[in-house]
Structure 1
Amino acid sequence: MPKHAQPAPWWQDAVIYQVYPRSFADANGDGMGDLRGVASKLPYLKDLGVGAVWLSPFYTSPQADAGYDVADYRTVDPMFGDLSDFDDMLARAHALDMRIIVDLVPNHSSDEHEWFVQALASPPGSPERARYLFRDGKGEHGEIAPNNWKSLFGGHAWTRITEADGTPGQWYLHLFDTKQPDLNWENPVVREEMEDVLRFWLDRGVDGFRVDVAHGLVKAAGLPDWEAPVAGGETTEGNMAPSGSAGPPYLDQEGVHEIYESWNKILAAYDGDRMLVAEAWVEPMSRIFRYVRAGEMQQAFNFGFLLAGWDAQRMMDNVVETLAEAAVVSAPPTWVLSNHDTVRHSTRYGLSDPTAFPKGIAATDEQPDEALGWARGRAAAMLMFGLPGSSYIYQGDELSLPEHTTLPNELRQDPSFFRTNGAERGRDGCRVPMPWVAGAPGNGFSLVTPAADPWLPQPESYAHYAADCQVGVDGSTYELYRGVLRLRAEHELGRGNLSWSESNDADRGVLAFSNRDMLVLANLGDTPIELPTGYRVVAQSQTEAVQDGALVPNSALWLLPEGN
């Protein structure tokens, strides 16, 4: 390192593991995961090779949207424990040299937040209502919504209230569920409050924030009507317009960047390279990287990589574009295959169209080829970990957990399922509790006995995928992840540079690139591909990946030069 050079910040190449607290580990036997459960599993994550943990919301909430409807940003919901449990978990993580990132939900609060309760009890035009987006309706009696916006969960984005005197009143905006009213970010009181929330958790020692709906805080002036284009890119978390089309007036507005510039200054006042990562479903890639320009956030999720599916050309195109745009703003690229809002990648890759992005899968839908998805999911993970930058793992990816694709409708809880009358199957299938001990009640999700059943039932196959069947077992997905993450750290691949190999041929389904001294080779095609000479295999996605000197389809290798 040159004299006086500063070490690169930890988040530049971090492997970050997403914990969905209600489904990770249950320490008290009530069938719901909690913070003490998370704390108990930190050594498991450390052994895996994880450097940081991102926690989905654990704040006080009526749980209308699994905690993304926050009623109090400064307290822990009793279902997850209390602040002392959080502090203990954080201290344990730091003792293991692991960092903790918490989810921040600034676009909307719960309708049970004290601010919204006060707004309902206050008259139109009051300061209490000015903290949200209340508007008079159109029509003779205000019976028509202020504009035509649709909720991202389905249905209208406006709900009319009944005033304190019992008469029909104003309407409030909710880009998501009716129980998630949007905050008014034009109001300085809202900005000051959320900045204070940042400081509250920074003072407790958190290492960063994942910012939910980071592209949604600011709405276009006048809240104009908008008709969504017919083609392209819709997701559960955002209405992304096709490339070249104008996006919706409630997403990716210029004003959001001023907010994150102010947040950057707050984090910079604390030691330890605190970080912000944006959840922003926007296109094209150049607009995503606007969130990580100097003085704004440190990372933004690369959903294009996730959406590429099992397709060599689409994946290569995303990698090329991502690295180019990251270089423009000198920010690290990020890579992710699954999260709590998407069908698990090992399941998507097993569909007849492995680039499909279904909004949940039900028993009446096409069922995936589980073995094929397992093989492709492992190969995709090796591709991802071989790339420079930061990688995200969704809990259970390291076990090859599949989606629960036959969950009975009567057990579903995702509001998107209900608001679309079942047209969207919802996200419950990827949120099923983790299996830790095969054959135990709930496959060991609860750490004590007796225990209540897990809050969502696991599919029968989860016993096969349980952690105790994989930790220390050669050939398991857990050991595959652990092995390649160790190699990734040893060879500093996260801080390397990618160069495409002569063997790369996306038309044939072959992806091949070098990162430092590591050659990453993946076969996304239908025929075996010959191995390059002068290399030795140091990791393979499955035990039979190499046959007769060739890499079989749906497999990946890491190779080092002979003698290295």
Structure 2
Amino acid sequence: MRPARHPHPQAARSSGSHSDQGNLGWWRQAVTYQVYVRSFQDSDGDGVGDLGGVRQRLPYLRSLGVDAIWLNPFFPSPQHDHGYDVADYLDVDPQYGTLEGFDALVRDAHRLDIKVLIDVVPNHCSIEHAWFTAAVAAGPGSPERGRFHFADGRGAQGELPPNNWRSIFGGPAWRRIIEPDGTPGQWYLHTFAEEQADFNWRHPAVPAYFEEVLRFWFDRGVDGLRIDVAHGLHKQEGLPDHDSALDDELTGDPNNPHAWNQLEVHDVWRRWRAIADWYTASTGHERVLIGEVGVLDTAELAAYQRPDELHQSFFFEFLRTPWDVEQLRSVIDRGRLTVAATGSPVAWVLNNHDMPRVVTRYAGGAPGGPVGDIELGLSRARAAALLMLALPGSAFIYQGEELGLPEVTDLPEHLLTDPMFHRTAGARRGRDGCRVPLPWDSGRDALGFSPEPAAATTWLPQPDWFGYHAVDRQLESGESMLHLYREAIALRRRVPGITQGEFRWLPTEPGVLAFMRGDGFACVVNCSSRPVCMPVDGHVLHASKAEVGEKLPPDSAAWLLVRACDE
């Protein structure tokens, strides 16, 4: 199935399944749950998660209280980068289900008042995409090759890459092809894996194609898009050498000024925003754009969510900040005063599918390295959850975060699938450790991830200790991480002060972070290793540790309704 061609936003038609005119702006304070489809729930017993599994677990997501889900790519793909190498943007990979199954998932989610966001990958596609195979067959200088970055090599026989750019996944950012006549030929650009060819966004066919992709999924009722590598797309004309390119084969430079953050990319987001806004205005069913923007300067990040561009961009600085009170205060202020100054709220995030899990980061562990002090990491992760959910703006939760899952740091190397690991010859461990299939039921095959009897092993192995974090066990304990998240999200809905009112810092003793929202809600976080006195007097609504009273234990957080405050 292919979308009708709508050359202008005004020509589009929407078949959105529900109207929510009274809920416009829901994303401003939303809690969105990231579903890594491959590892969420397997419905057919092949050891791989799928859309049917997501549909089965919608009641769980409703009970968690989230406003929306974001689905990682489920499009047809050879899975060299687990779906981020897209072979067809307008269908569902049979491994994950069917278009009809996707439609049923959207309908069921909407019935439960859960919005659905999908992941779009516009910077690059699979080398098995029809456009790329046509480009290879058409030969040098053809219009088909113009949709990508093909170039002649340097050196006497063209045996050297066209420039010195590095791949983010390691090694050169170029791969040489064999021409249709069997001879070594041109090179194509891939800023990630060599199976992922970068589009040439200066070719008019490319933006036109992706506008069709937007309409196709908006017409199917999706509520928004998470946009992969939203700072990418355009490359500098002429593809010049990068003066500071690393000579190391193992690492790429994410700050290549010729490959990232070109001014022209903002024109793309203005066009996409116009399309999204047309759907919103014409149907009352709001469509939002959330960007993965990998720039390091907060002001540059803020530029992506100006009123006519993306609705939000993930604030990764918060995710990268260590458990240190001064650094946390500083990064929160940068988000509040720089990103939110655009009129769009901060999108806070502690975990995602590309980073080691927060429990392990706070524990001092690392993929392929030490486990760290998991109890310490878990205490800090619980406190960080309350901190994030009390900050002004929206929050994104990565699956398993609500279970307090640590990183699986010791996966056997022969089972690792991340191209980052293989392209760096093991120097970079990769991202498999945060993608292990979820534990649902400690007493069942595959911990409930696959139906019984499990016909196949899970695509990544679940360690034995995963069972201690399973959903069934956490439901039995009122002090579990799952209950912490459920209660916090429910309180965000019930207590207006948590999401409304002016933000202001409170004076505290060293090692403590405290702020108020409006006149009556306070969040206090103890980042120190000692108990501290509460800086405000009030009723404790929620806490990350049960021992909270007049004093706040080390590495913990509390929410309070304040009776009085010492200014």
Q: TM-score, normalised by structure 2?
A: 0.92
Residue 295 of structure 2 corresponds to 282
Task: Provide the secondary structure at the position in 2 that maps to 1:376.
Answer: helix
Q: CA deviation at 1:561?
A: 2.1
Residues 500 and 517 of structure 2 are in contact (CA less than 8 Å); yes or no, is this contact kept in structure 1? no
How far apart, in 1, do the equivalents of 2:513 and 2:334 lie? 15
Q: What is the identity, as a one-letter code, of the residue corresponding to 1:178?
A: E
- Is 1:348 the equivalent of 2:361? yes
How far apart, in 2, do the equivalents of 1:541 and 1:474 lie? 12
Q: CA deviation at 1:495?
A: 4.1
- Select which of 529, 535, 553 maps to 2:538: 535
- Is 1:108 the equivalent of 2:124? yes
- CA deviation vs aligned residue, 1:432-479 (integer Å, no higher than 9, x gap): 000000131111101342432111011221100000111253101111
- Select which of 492, 503, 511 maps to 1:509: 511
Q: CA deviation at 1:88?
A: 0.6
Matches within 5 A, 1:98-497: 98-228=114-244, 239-241=253-255, 247-271=256-280, 272-351=285-364, 361-362=367-368, 365-471=369-475, 473-492=477-496, 493-497=498-502
Q: CA deviation at 1:332?
A: 0.8
Task: Provide the secondary structure at the position in 1 that maps to 2:90.
Answer: strand
How far apart, in 2, do the equivalents of 1:451 and 1:376 lie? 38
C-alpha distance 267-423 of structure 1, shift in aligned 2 (>3 A): same
C-alpha distance 118-240 of structure 1, shift in aligned 2 (>3 A): closer
How far apart, in 1, do the equivalents of 2:361 and 2:493 lie? 29
Q: CA deviation at 1:309?
A: 2.2
Q: What is the identity, as a one-letter code, of the residue corresponding to 1:252?
A: N
How far apart, in 1, do the equivalents of 2:129 and 2:359 lie? 38
- Select which of 6, 23, 45 maps to 2:61: 45
Structure 1 range deviating more: 202-211 or 313-322: 313-322
Which segments of 5 or more consecutive residues in structure 2 lack a partner in the other structure?
1-20
Residue 523 of structure 1 corresponds to 526
How far apart, in 1, do the equivalents of 2:506 and 2:319 lie? 23
Residue 244 of structure 1 corresponds to none
- Select which of 8, 31, 40 maps to 1:15: 31
Task: Provide the secondary structure at the position in 2 that maps to 1:195.
Answer: helix
Residues 121 and 227 of structure 2 are in contact (CA less than 8 Å); yes or no, is this contact kept in structure 1? yes
Structure 1 range deviating more: 322-331 or 487-496: 487-496
Percent identity between the two aligned chains: 47
- CA deviation vs aligned residue, 1:80-106 (integer Å, no higher than 9, x gap): 010111001000000011100000000
Structure 1 range deviating more: 489-498 or 423-432: 489-498
How far apart, in 2, do the equivalents of 1:253 and 1:227 lie? 17
Residue 85 of structure 1 corresponds to 101
Q: What is the identity, as a one-letter code, of the residue corresponding to 1:340?
A: H
Residues 445 and 452 of structure 2 are in contact (CA less than 8 Å); yes or no, is this contact kept in structure 1? no
- Is 1:557 the equivalent of 2:558? yes
Q: CA deviation at 1:533?
A: 4.9
- CA deviation vs aligned residue, 1:380-424 (integer Å, no higher than 9, x gap): 000000001000000000000111011000000000000011111
Which segments of 5 or more consecutive residues in structure 1 lack a partner in the other structure?
242-246, 353-357
Q: CA deviation at 1:314?
A: 1.3
Q: CA deviation at 1:541?
A: 0.4
Q: CA deviation at 1:532?
A: 3.5
Structure 1 range deviating more: 441-450 or 259-268: 441-450
Structure 1 range deviating more: 537-546 or 396-405: 537-546
- Is 1:500 the equivalent of 2:516? no
- CA deviation vs aligned residue, 1:1-46 (integer Å, no higher than 9, x gap): xxxx986511111100000001000111110100010011111111
Residues 370 and 409 of structure 2 are in contact (CA less than 8 Å); yes or no, is this contact kept in structure 1? no
How far apart, in 2, do the equivalents of 1:561 and 1:122 lie? 70
Residues 472 and 479 of structure 1 are in contact (CA less than 8 Å); yes or no, is this contact kept in structure 2? no
Residues 25 and 445 of structure 1 are in contact (CA less than 8 Å); yes or no, is this contact kept in structure 2? yes
How far apart, in 1, do the equivalents of 2:161 and 2:198 lie? 15
Residues 164 and 245 of structure 2 are in contact (CA less than 8 Å); yes or no, is this contact kept in structure 1? no
Residues 446 and 454 of structure 2 are in contact (CA less than 8 Å); yes or no, is this contact kept in structure 1? no
How far apart, in 1, do the equivalents of 2:210 and 2:490 lie? 38
- CA deviation vs aligned residue, 1:366-385 (integer Å, no higher than 9, x gap): 22111111111010000000
Residues 538 and 560 of structure 2 are in contact (CA less than 8 Å); yes or no, is this contact kept in structure 1? yes
How far apart, in 2, do the equivalents of 1:413 and 1:509 lie? 40
How far apart, in 2, do the equivalents of 1:495 and 1:224 lie? 48
How far apart, in 1, do the equivalents of 2:23 and 2:108 lie? 24
Q: What is the identity, as a one-letter code, of the residue corresponding to 1:520?
A: C
Cα RMSD (Å) of the superposition? 1.8
